[in-house]
Amino acid sequence: MGGKYSRGEERRPLGFPGFSALCCCQKTNREETPLGFCDIKARRSNPSFGREDPAYLDMAYFPDNDLHMAACAGDLPFVRLYFTLGKYEVNHRDRENRNAMHFACFYGHLELVIYLWRRGCEINVCDNHNITPLMKAVQSWEDKIVCFLLEHHANLHIKDSMGNTALHYAVYSGNSATAARLLQYGADIEERTKDNLTPLLLALRENRLKMAQFLVRMEASVHAVDSQRRNSLMYAVRCDSPVMVNLILQQGVDINLKDLFGWTALRYAIEGDRDVRTILLELRKRNREYIERLERQQRPGMVRGDASGQR
């Protein structure tokens, strides 16, 4: 089921006669950012900027047998008939280890989900990517099904093969209401993926800015860092979002933190030609002025102290 990512891998530069000649005239002295973190100019009008969804999230969810086909269609009479005739067991798995609950949840058939649960169909079953029915319901914005599963003890701490929990799936889908529901039922807001991304870092990487704002309001840590020791401020700079940069700064994030490559958020902003660099430059200026003012206030006191000590 691996495959390539559906977005971003096959992109090529625009081409027309003389295009490369024009490009060579546009060279700047800016340095390339480590691993290309901020090399592409962020565009708030492009919501897909930066997204790196796991390949299996974009793949079509097709059944390979009659039972699962009926589950996809929400055809309860046929599902019931297959069980009555003994053609399929309730927890029949396909080649991807998916049961009927996976399909009913993904395609939003609440009545069928309830019926399957009453028949003993597993709700915490994992497919070949360790994806649960709850994750599929979250991915498809099926809030009523999510509520039903949570009320009936769906495990929201299970991780898929990339380390994503149901809360990470809510981040990928950009559904703050579902994220709030998961948190209400005990989801860990600081849980990490295999890439060491918390839900907040993931939201920023995926350019899900409303989700990121929601997570900050829910007291997600802005101090968490990923595998390259990049913090939320660096990711907000990458998104070039003044709202997120200011919000994260208000939480007391370390603006001087350096990642594994020795880069700060300000350096990423400057070399990445981000508009938010003006915010960070202004903040650095104010900090320096504040320090200089403190030093000036201390100097007269030190002089008076020395003079009094000599008397």
CATH classification of the domain holding 145: 1.25.40.20
Residues 141 and 228 in one domain: no
Q: What is the mean pLDDT of the chain?
A: 87
Structure tokens, 230? 């990049």
22-37: pLDDT as tens digits:
344 444 567 799 999 9
Mean pLDDT over 110-130 rounds to 98
Q: Which of 141, 169, 188 is the last residue of a domain?
A: 188
Domain count within the chain: 2
Name 225's bridge partners. Answer: 231
Q: Would you state the pLDDT for residue 60?
A: 72
CA distance to 210, 248, 253, 294, per residue, from 214 (Å): 6, 12, 17, 37
Q: At what angle do helices 277-310 and 242-250 cross, to 10 degrees?
A: 30
- Based on the domain organization, do 184 and 280 belong to the same domain? no
- Residue (of 32, 52, 63, 19) closest to 270 by Cα position: 32
pLDDT of 260-293, one tens digit each?
999 999 999 999 999 999 999 999 998 888 788 8
Question: In a 3-state reduction of DSSP, which class is residue 33?
Answer: coil
Selected residue with higher pLDDT from 56 and 106: 106
Which of 282, 219, 211, 272 minimizes the C-alpha distance to 244?
Answer: 211
Residues 62 and 178 in one domain: yes
The sign one gets for the Cα dihedral 59, 5, 216, 168 is positive
Domain-located, residue 215: no
Which phi and psi angles does 208 have, rounded to 5°? -90, 80
What are 38-66's pLDDT values in tens digits? 988 765 545 555 566 667 676 678 999 99
Same domain, 78 and 169: yes
- Asked, for residue 174, whether it belongs to a domain, the answer is yes
The pLDDT, as a whole number, for residue 300 is 62
Give dist(CA 27, CA 99) in Å, integer.
Answer: 55
Question: Same domain, yes or no, for 97 and 167?
Answer: yes
**Dihedrals phi, psi of 199, to nearest 5 degrees:** -55, -40
Q: How far is CA 111 from the centre of its chain?
A: 31
Q: Say if CB 203 and CB 232 are below 8 A apart.
A: no
The reported pLDDT for the residue numbered 8 is 37
With H, G, I as helix, E, B as strand and everything else as coil, classify residue 35.
helix
Contact indicator for 227, 205 with CB cutoff of 8 Å: no
Q: pLDDT tier at 19 (50, 70, 90 boundaries)? A: very low
For 40, 151, 245, 291, the CA distances from 236, given in Å and listed in that order, are 14, 35, 6, 26
* pLDDT at residue 150 greater than cutoff 60: yes
- Domain presence at residue 39: no
**Structure confidence at residue 261 (pLDDT):** 97
Q: Environment class of residue 253 by beta-carbon count within 10 Å: exposed (0-12), middle (13-18) or buried (19+)? A: buried
Q: State the amino acid at position 90 in one-letter form.
A: V
pTM score, whole prediction: 0.82
Orientation of helix 209-217 relative to helix 242-250, angle to 10°: 10
Distance CA 44, CA 307 (A): 60
Question: Looking at the predicted structure, is the pLDDT value of residue 305 above 70?
Answer: no
d(CA 229, CA 258): 8
pLDDT-derived band at 295 (thresholds 50, 70, 90) equals confident
Per-residue pLDDT at 161 exceeds 90: yes
Same-domain check for residues 140 and 257? no
Percent of the residues in the chain that have a pLDDT greater than 70, as a whole number: 82
Q: Any idea how long the chain is?
A: 311
Whether 246 is covered by a domain: the verdict is yes
150 and 241 part of one domain:
no
Write out pLDDT tens, residues 200-253.
999 999 999 999 999 999 999 999 999 999 999 999 999 999 999 999 999 999
Q: Which residue has the tokens 């000590």?
A: 309
Q: Kindly indicate the confidence band of residue 2, based on its pLDDT and cuts at 50, 70 and 90.
A: very low
172 in the same domain as 51: yes
The SS3 call for residue 56 is helix
Amino acid at 202: L
Structural domain of 243:
224-305
> Does residue 3 fall inside a structural domain?
no
Expressed in angstroms, the distance from the first to the final Cα of the chain is: 85
The answer to the question of residue 102 being in a domain is: yes
DSSP state string for 141-169: T-HHHHHHHHHTT--TT---TTS--HHHH
